[in-house]
Amino acid sequence: MTAPTPPSRSQRAVLRHFRPSDMKAAAQLATQATQGVIGITEGVHQSVRRTLGLTAGATPSHTGGLTGQIYRGIRGVAALVGQGSEAVLGALLPLLEKPPAYPEASPQREAVLAALNGVLGDRLVATGNPLAQPMTLRREGQVLSLDDPNALKEQLGEAASPHLLLLIHGLCMNDTQWTRDGHNHGAYLAQAVGGTPVYLRYNSGRHVSDNGRELSLQLERLVASWPVPLQRITMMGHSMGGLVARSAVQAGRETGQHWPQMLREIVFLGTPHHGAPLERAGHGVDVLLDATPFSRPFAQLGKLRSAGILDLRHGHVQEADWRSPGGQSWRAGFDDQRVPLPLPEGVACFAVAATLAAQRGLLADRLTGDGLVPLNSALGQHDEARRRLVFAKNSQLIVCRTSHLDLLSSQKVAEQVRDWLTPHADVE
């Protein structure tokens, strides 16, 4: 009997970032994708039949008669295959989980999971897929215990201080990606102004309002278990993280939670307060695909964008921004239906915006921006007065020749944030 061939060097490299439970999650995604492709195929088929007058027993997206029965049979087979593969993998996983030779996690794997959650995170949650990332508060890669003060004290050690620095990442990212080109704003500010940096990890494919509400609840638990008397909270949000911060403050104040009373500052880095044009362009593709009967079924592909990405079309912060008065969720169109929400009163708010251009100008302000977010959106400026977010002149920073991600490693940004926070850094 021939001995099995050992894995090659490249295969071993892949296995370092792979867990057996990923197989079950991937099988579930594959089954859902297969069902989606079947639906698109049947939709195109039905569009053709409709033009020929063959509509008996059909609906706008499903064929009738014998053709419809065939498609239903294909769907049934795909579902059975999916269930069978999940059952087999479920039986094998206890034998394969957590191989001792492999690390618990790798930065590469976590980056891929963060991106997947950003694109499909809401669907991963809805289908119970194990790849859906739960929200956690972390420090140095360790999940913090929110309900056990003794455990939290042991985790924080001497780093626990009266000043909490909370950093919230953006879309398709995670807490480890605050470190870029050897720089980390949280670590820098901890040295420069004091305080204890804590990093949020969340599923950025969920609605911003859902993440904001959950963050508010977790912060209330963290504050209650903090090892020393907490006097000051500073929040820093990059990109979508700034929207999540505003949403959490609003949710905490609406429910009378304690932690917002200790919030002193919010720093927004490249936050799309009034949306990002790339998501609006994505919606434009949806409209074009939906324009003809033959291309309409393919519009379903464009609509796979997660709820979190859709929130970036206009900068949704509250549930009322995306849920209709009748209680049904709806996919926002080109019209801005947001309920105006000003910056939180009593909190010092700072806005950092970037542009790829060498200097400011009409093109740089409205179109170029940092490559993802226009300057006006990052600065809270809007043509409608009721939607404008008012940042004091000395609470704004515009950095040129800087991209959206370069905001995370910019020394100029770090020094300016330090200066903004220094006058308040005398908390003992």
Q: Are 111 and 122 in contact (CB under 8 A)?
A: no
pTM of the model: 0.76
* Distance between CA atoms of residues 62 and 48, nearest Å: 12
pLDDT tens-place values along the chain, 428 residues long: 455 555 555 544 444 544 555 555 555 555 554 444 445 444 444 444 454 444 555 555 555 555 455 445 544 544 544 444 445 445 444 444 444 444 456 777 788 778 878 878 898 898 888 888 999 999 998 999 999 999 999 999 999 999 999 999 999 899 999 999 999 999 999 999 999 999 999 999 999 999 999 999 999 999 999 999 999 999 999 999 999 999 999 999 999 999 999 999 999 999 999 998 765 555 444 544 455 554 454 455 455 678 998 898 899 999 999 886 655 555 445 578 899 999 999 999 999 999 988 877 666 666 568 888 999 999 999 999 999 999 999 999 999 999 999 999 999 999 999 999 996 444 33
- Domain positions in the chain are 14-104, 136-275+338-424
| Domain 136-275+338-424: assigned CATH number | 3.40.50.1820
* Distance between CA atoms of residues 175 and 374, nearest Å: 24
* Distance between CA atoms of residues 285 and 307, nearest Å: 17
* Distance between CA atoms of residues 309 and 171, nearest Å: 8
Sheet of strand 232-238, all strands in order from the earlier edge strand to the far edge: 142-143, 136-139, 196-201, 163-168, 232-238, 263-269, 348-355, 396-400
Q: Are strands 232-238 and 348-355 parallel, antiparallel or unpaired?
A: unpaired
Count CB neighbours of 57 within 10 A: 13
